[in-house]
């Protein structure tokens, strides 16, 4: 599910330029629209424990994917800053739930004794994938 965060960051990095022109976003509005996902995904991860206890991991994963798809559809159809932010908040909740549920779900479905190594690989992959962000690139 960390792939969803990376995919969102990659897509929005290119799309926000066109969205800024089309929606008439100011620079602070653009920054809030891009940055709010990280904050909201943290809240989504915190809320996951209750959701997971109530529904279980498989249904929590379905909610995660559903929220992500609905949020991205809302972002694609946004006609102003309010609808764009609403879509980003819904997307952020989906990403946060996914980041928190995925390792637990992997541990649950793995055979006895194999859950911890597989969970470590999932978390290690996310860490390595995010480590390249510390290196400054001038790609635009």
Per-residue pLDDT of 58-115, as tens digits, reads 888 888 889 999 999 999 999 999 999 999 999 999 988 888 888 777 777 777 776 6
Residues 20-34 have a mean pLDDT of 90
Residue 49, in any domain of the structure = yes
CATH number of residue 36's parent domain: 1.20.1250.20
Q: Does residue 129 carry a pLDDT above 90? A: no
Residue 59, in any domain of the structure = yes
Structurally, the chain folds into a number of domains equal to: 1
Residue 139, in any domain of the structure = no
Single pTM value for the model: 0.78
Residue 113, in any domain of the structure = yes
Residue 135, in any domain of the structure = no
C-alpha–C-alpha distance, residues 106 and 115, integer Å:
7
The reported pLDDT for the residue numbered 135 is 55
Domain range for 41: 2-130
Residue 138, in any domain of the structure = no
Q: Residue 129 in contact with residue 78, Cβ under 8 Å?
A: no
Q: Residue 12 in contact with residue 34, Cβ under 8 Å?
A: yes
For tokens 């996310």, name the residue.
126
User: Under DSSP, is residue 12 helix (H, G, I), strand (E, B) or coil?
Assistant: helix
Residue 84's alpha-carbon distances to 32, 58, 101, 108, in angstroms, are 10, 29, 26, 36
73/11: higher pLDDT: 73
Q: Residue 106 in contact with residue 115, Cβ under 8 Å?
A: yes
Residue 140, in any domain of the structure = no
User: Under DSSP, is residue 26 helix (H, G, I), strand (E, B) or coil?
Assistant: coil
Residue 74, in any domain of the structure = yes
Average pLDDT, the chain: 81
**Any idea how long the chain is?**
140
């Amino acid at each position: 599910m960390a792939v969803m965060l990376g995919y969102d960051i990659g897509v929005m990095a290119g799309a926000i330029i066109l969205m800024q022109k089309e929606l008439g976003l100011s620079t602070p509005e653009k920054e809030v629209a891009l940055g709010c996902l990280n904050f909201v995904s943290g809240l989504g991860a915190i809320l996951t424990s209750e959701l997971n206890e109530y529904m279980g991991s498989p249904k929590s994963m379905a909610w995660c994917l559903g929220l992500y798809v609905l949020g991205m559809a809302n972002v694609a159809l946004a006609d102003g800053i309010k609808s764009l932010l609403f879509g980003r908040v819904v997307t952020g909740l989906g990403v946060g739930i996914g980041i928190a549920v995925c390792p637990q779900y992997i541990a649950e479905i793995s055979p006895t004794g194999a859950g911890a190594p597989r969970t470590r690989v999932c978390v290690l992959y996310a860490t390595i994938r995010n480590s390249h962000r510390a290196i400054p690139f001038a790609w635009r």
